[in-house]
Structures are given as structure tokens and as C-alpha cells.
Structure 1
Amino acid sequence: MTLLEARGLTRHFDGLKAVDGVDFDLEEGEIHALIGPNGAGKTTFVSLLSGRIPVQSGTIRFAGRDITRTPAHARVRAGIAYTFQITQVYGALTVFDNVALAVQSRHSRRLAEDTTEALTRVGLEARADQIAGTLSYGHQRLLEVAMGLALKPKLLILDEPTQGLAQGEIETFKDIVRGVVPEATVLLIEHNMDVVMDLAHRITVLNFGEVLATGTPKTIRADKAVQAAYLGDPHAAA
């Protein structure tokens, strides 16, 4: 079943075609990776999906309804959670309270239980009373994922979540993502190709704001156009 469907999605900035007529589908319960060179339009594209940036043209349907003009906060309530490329935690609050705010936003009657459950899933339950701003960068990224999970989303969008993570934390992260599906669908924007190839069921490659290719990891790895634009670049993972 298709969870999200974008058709002709477009967003230009002063002549820059950040996203240019993109068609895109997400299937329920899949891990779908979005990759491409720096400046390919990945973050702009997911910002259109989450409602943080308005669409200039095209349509977005989510769970059977048109959300093209739906504001970001209403998309969160509809089941879209987006964790940002730059960590967005409340530094002055405890780890527990950061996640509790996310739980509270969906009016859960199990505030403490749901908060603890989300922290446990990312391995931060022992740090529940720590002030979030004193966490390492890697732990702040995991806290952000916990906040996303606490929303119980249908779609969890993760924007470069392994950036700044140590190798052991990356392994933990991969286990977390595998545990999210099939309860939720994951859209992963990621520069670490080992993570992408290990986790993704399907991959979409963006280049100059357009879809260059979509397919399984094996198909994408063998695609000559993708190799030329991205995978063959020794600086692609930078």
C-alpha cells in the first residue's frame, strides 16, 4: 500500500531549481533512503513533504488525503515526524522532559510510560534526568530520534541522523530503525552509504533537484548514471 505520493513537486529559489517536478512514492512499512550530491535538493524535498517549506506546484497525498497545503503542525498530527539535519532539542530541559513534550503533543494518557519507552528504544533511559544540552552531539541526535518515535508516527523522516555518531552509535541507530518498521515507514536522508545500503529497501537518488533513479540498493549501486553523479565520486560521503 502507498503511504505517501508526491507528483510534480516543485520548489525554486531565485532561479535555483532546488526541487524540480519530482514524482515520489513511499510504501507502507518500508525503509526508503534519499541520497544525492550536496545541493541535490534532498533537505528541500523533505521540507516540502513535512510542510516546513510551501510547495510551489505539484501535489502531496498522505494516507489517502491531499496534504499539499496542510500546515506542518497538522502534518505532525496526521502522522509525519521529521527529525532535523541540525539537532533540535531543548537544551535547558532534561532528556526525559524533551521526549515528554513530544508524547504530550499527541495527548497520550501514558506520559511517563510512553516517554520511558521511547528513551529505552534509543538507549537513553539511563540519562533521563540529564540536562539535554550537556549530552554529547551523538546522544543529542539519538534524543531527537526518541522525540520522533514518541510521536508514534506513520512516517518518520530522518535527515542525516548518523552525522556525528561514533561507529558503535551508528550500529545502535541501525537497530533502532529496523525496529521502527513495519509499524512505521522510514524516509532516510543519509550521506553514509554503508548505512544506506545496509538499511534501505529502496533508494531514490536526487540530482539537481530531479529524480535520477529509484530502485533497490543492488540496482542503484549498479546504475551507471548514479555512479557518475554520486557513487563514483570519492568525495560523495563527505
Structure 2
Amino acid sequence: MTPLLTTTGLKKVFGGLTAVDAVDFAVMPGEIRAVIGPNGAGKTTFVSLICGRLPPSSGEIRFDGRDITGLPAHRRVRLGIAYTFQITSVFANLSVYDNVALAVQRTAADRRWTGSLRDGVMSALSRTGLAGRAQERAGALAYGHQRLLEVAMGLALRPRLLILDEPTQGLSDGEIESFTDLVREIAQDATVLLIEHNMPVVMALAHRITVLDAGKVLAEGSPEEIRANAAVQAAYLGATAA
């Protein structure tokens, strides 16, 4: 099977700091891949390079066999890459419904959408448990619900690759359980790239895990292999892996 996404020698330098250091990476279609690592490991910078929010200093990014290294973010969205931010980026003064409607309209404009606007919006809201809050102002939602709204906005784009950056931050235990069920459902139709500090979520969801440390790939493997990796335990997991 051909990878959906690959990076080769991907590097990002900010002044004298190398945030992402020659990363080779490949994700297969339908995979749930987690990227973990300590704070400052380069995780968010890495996915920002993939989605086009940042240009790389060097290296190559390919999506479905196509070189997208130089494409701007909006062109990557049209190809099917959706990204939810580590910090919420909803339109606070618009309703929950209207936030998702904007994403559906963008998809419709790219001619990848069939069906009514309302059906598309309510489907995304229902999948994230927000259908009952459709008319609430987005800025009035609790932080965890704003995170779920971002996921709904991403789903409305009908992505082939959905990048989730710290999606469980601010969610209750019950919401986290529902979220893990949602990610498994999403993975039936799309590939998921998950940046997450909640290790029980990572271990429960990921088919494979990539560990970044100081911008480099420290280890890669199944949850069982990562849990047993002594270098990963020393760098990141610590007592969590025990």
C-alpha cells in the first residue's frame, strides 16, 4: 500500500533553533497515527509544516504521491488535509452552527460536497455531540466544547487526512471516552494524525506512534513497542510507561 502522506528530510529552523530536524515520516491510508514527545519536541511545528501553516526550511512533503511542499494551506485543504489547532480558533461571535456552515460552504465551493448545507452542518455537529448547542454563540462554549467544535469544523471539510492537535485538552473524562469512539469512527473514512499528551488516549487509539525529541524522530512503532522502549521512557513516558 502506498503512503497517503510522506515527509523526507523535513526541517524547520527558527533563527538558531532547529525545531524540526530532517524528519522522515510516512502515514498509511486509514491509519490512526499519534505523534508524541516532551514539550518543545517540535510536534506542533511538524504538523504546521504538513498543513502549510509554516514553510519548511528544507525537505519535501508528499500527499497521495503529489509534492505539496510549496502549496499554501488553502490549497492543501482542497486536497483533503484538515487541521484543528492546539489553541482554539473558532469564530467566537458566530453561532456553533455558523462556524461549521463556513467549513461546509468551503467544501461545497471546491465541489467535493453533495447534499444540503444544513444536513452537512448537523451531521458534523451530531458526530461531535454538539447538535443540541447549534444556536449557541461559539465564544460562550466551555473550552472543551470549543475544541469539539473545531473537530466538527474539520469533519465538515470531509478530509482525507484529519490532523488533531491536543484535541482532548479541556475535555471531561466522559467527553474523552466519547471522543475516542469518534476518532475510531472517523478512521473508517479518513486517516487521522493525532498530537496528544494524554497517554491513555494515545495508547488506546493509535495504530502506530512516532516519538519526537528535540525535533528528531526518537522512536516509532506500535503502542506496545513504544511503551517498552527504554529511550522513550527516559525522554518522555517516565512513570507513565510503567
TM-score, reference length from structure 1: 0.97
Q: Alignment identity in percent?
A: 66
| Shift of residue 233, structure 1, vs aligned partner | 6.0
Task: Report the equivalent of 2:216.
Answer: 210
- Matched AA of 2:99: N
Deviations 1:91-139, CA, capped at 9 Å, x for gaps: 1111111000000001135211011100000011011111111111111
Verify the 8 A CA contact 1:30 1:182 in the aligned structure 2: no
| Shift of residue 17, structure 1, vs aligned partner | 1.1
CA distance in 2, matches of 1:123, 1:16: 41
Q: What is the aligned counterpart of 1:140 among 131, 137, 146?
A: 146
Task: Report the equivalent of 2:117.
Answer: 111
Q: What is the aligned counterpart of 1:120 among 126, 142, 146?
A: 126
CA distance in 2, matches of 1:24, 1:35: 14
- Matched AA of 1:3: L
CA distance in 2, matches of 1:221, 1:201: 13
Task: Report the equivalent of 1:34.
Answer: 35
Unaligned runs of at least 5 residues, structure 2: none
- Matched AA of 1:173: F
In the alignment, does 2:196 pair up with 1:195?
A: no
Task: Report the equivalent of 1:226.
Answer: 232
Q: What is the aligned counterpart of 1:180 among 175, 186, 197?
A: 186
CA distance in 2, matches of 1:133, 1:56: 36
In the alignment, does 2:20 pair up with 1:14?
A: no
CA distance in 2, matches of 1:215, 1:84: 25
SS at match of 2:4: strand
| Shift of residue 52, structure 1, vs aligned partner | 0.3
Task: Report the equivalent of 1:96.
Answer: 97
How many residues were matched structurally? Answer: 235
CA distance in 1, matches of 2:174, 2:16: 42
Cα RMSD between the aligned structures? Answer: 1.1
CA distance in 2, matches of 1:175, 1:17: 36
Unaligned runs of at least 5 residues, structure 1: none
TM-score, reference length from structure 2: 0.95
Deviations 1:60-85, CA, capped at 9 Å, x for gaps: 00011000000000000100000000
CA distance in 2, matches of 1:199, 1:106: 28
| Shift of residue 221, structure 1, vs aligned partner | 0.3
Q: What is the aligned counterpart of 1:160 among 133, 156, 166?
A: 166
Task: Report the equivalent of 1:43.
Answer: 44
Verify the 8 A CA contact 1:28 1:182 in the aligned structure 2: no
| Shift of residue 13, structure 1, vs aligned partner | 0.9
- Matched AA of 1:181: A
